[in-house]
Chain A
């Protein structure tokens, strides 16, 4: 979904003989242009070719609906966004802590590896009905727990990998300085792992939003984007359902861009972003 599109756009290498400014402009202009063209074709299909507005609401009617139900959209986005944010933060903290333990003690690594592997393959949303009924119909906790689990996996895996990237010469240096293990963690291990941790968080940000949203399809309190999408669709208000979908995409994009910005900010001088003019 949204995350994939952005990755593709940023991952595309710079074509030869293009100045950085042109490149940046293109990177923004190109996807916007594609979006406008797609919307144009969509509108054309509905209003000129005559695809039923009931089956496929036109962009115009979606925008209309979006403006009409602006207040409830903001409310719903806040609810789902809060769940996702809590999940992302908790999942990241748990992931980093557990990875630190696993990196430090082999036994923890051995014990956690199968559990994490299981968590990684189980579709987290499969837990939604179970957790929702466990924590009662009026608690957001089940959704937050799901977002936490979904965020935990990529953060844990990336962080653990990052903790293992310290260069032998740097470890020798720390040993030569007789640095304490706390000093080694602070001056070497964490800075080395930082780009990996941030990548983990960036991946987790999209997953947190998706899982918080999808978890709402399976009962629990109403009012989030996911439950409004499903009720609107169930009552055949397709334009409104689409308006909520648009808000969901915006929310996912917001999370992704925020974590991407965080990564850019903190990694200006990490070896990964080394740039030679």
Chain B
């Protein structure tokens, strides 16, 4: 099976000698449930280059979260190979190669906002002074500096999610796994966080695997958009984004959202999602706004 790869002007064509952040080859995932097998993923092939931003998009239940969990070594594939920075997924997890933000924020309710962001630093033995300044920096970045001493149940859903994002970024990982992190945000905050995320990944050179239901979001953020289809979960198409052509991602500014190329890309992804059928049918669960 040939891997659907784009072959033109986007980032991974630049001469990079580094090992890919994520390599997935022929991965299947079958869940054994009481009511029988659920084939969540089938022959998935995907390579995410170091520093590349890849979005996963597809209808609800097509296995986006499952694929992300496999990369994070929170679940094991039924068949196929998976490597993260050239290591086994397990080794990469033990080496703390990735930061992760789950679909639910997953904050510890008995810890303050600052305590939650500090958690990974604490577990990995960062000295308390360094920890405090890093936490302050992160909270500033997600705009929650004033809420450091609050507890999660005193925050709105969107604020909780921003705390979870700050937590995922805490150790400046080379790979960020983000499962619909902006789902609970209002449009304004969402666009701000998107710009921020683009800046961070460009600055730190982190590769990002980003799950979303929003086509414009995927288009704005990504180097490539992976379009998936359900039952069984497969990769239908990988759409390269040619936004800003030669430009670096850091130059993805707000104006981009207004450009003609942007809308062309949105259309391309939408068509890929609907698998050639006329837009407007099927593919429930995907926002096309």
Contact = CB atoms under 8 A, between A and B. Distances in A.
A178 B94 contact: yes
B108 interface: yes
A104 interface: no
Q: Max chain A CB contacts within 10 Å: which of B119, B123, B151?
A: B123
A191 B152 CA distance: 15
A176 B98 CA distance: 8
Interface in A184-209: 187-188, 191, 194
A177 B120 contact: yes
Nearest to B75: A172
Contacts of B100: 173, 176
Contact of B106 (A169, A178, A183, A194): A169
A106 interface: no
Given A172-B74, A175-B74, A178-B94, A274 B153 contact: yes
Contact of A172 (B94, B96, B106): B106
Interface string A142-178: 0000000000000000000000000101101101111
A175 B94 CA distance: 9
Contacts of A187: 108, 119, 122-123
Contacts of B204: none
Q: How many A residues touch the partner, as a band?
A: 10 to 19
Contacts of A169: 102, 104, 106
B151 A173 contact: no
A178 B74 CA distance: 11
B93 interface: yes
Nearest to B103: A169
User: Interface residues of B: mostly helix, strand, loop or mixed?
Assistant: loop
Q: Max chain B CB contacts within 10 Å: which of A172, A175, A191, A270?
A: A172
B109 interface: yes
Given A191-B108, A270-B110, A173 B102 contact: yes
B88 to A, nearest CB: 13
A117 interface: no
B74 A176 contact: yes
A189 to B, nearest CB: 12
A32 to B, nearest CB: 34
A271 interface: yes
A177 B106 contact: no
A21 interface: no
Contacts of A270: 109-110
A177 B124 contact: yes
Given A169-B102, A183-B123, A274-B153, A176 B108 contact: no
B72 interface: yes
A269 B123 CA distance: 22
Contacts of A274: 109, 153
A178 B96 contact: yes
Contact of A188 (B94, B104, B108): B108
List the 8 closest A-B pairs by CB distance, nearest first. Answer: A169-B106, A271-B109, A274-B153, A269-B151, A191-B110, A178-B94, A176-B100, A177-B123
Interface of A: 167, 169-170, 172-173, 175-179, 183, 187-188, 191, 194, 269-271, 274
20 contacts: A167-B106, A169-B106, A170-B108, A173-B100, A175-B74, A176-B93, A176-B98, A177-B123, A177-B124, A178-B94, A179-B123, A187-B108, A187-B119, A187-B122, A194-B110, A269-B109, A269-B110, A269-B153, A271-B109, A271-B110
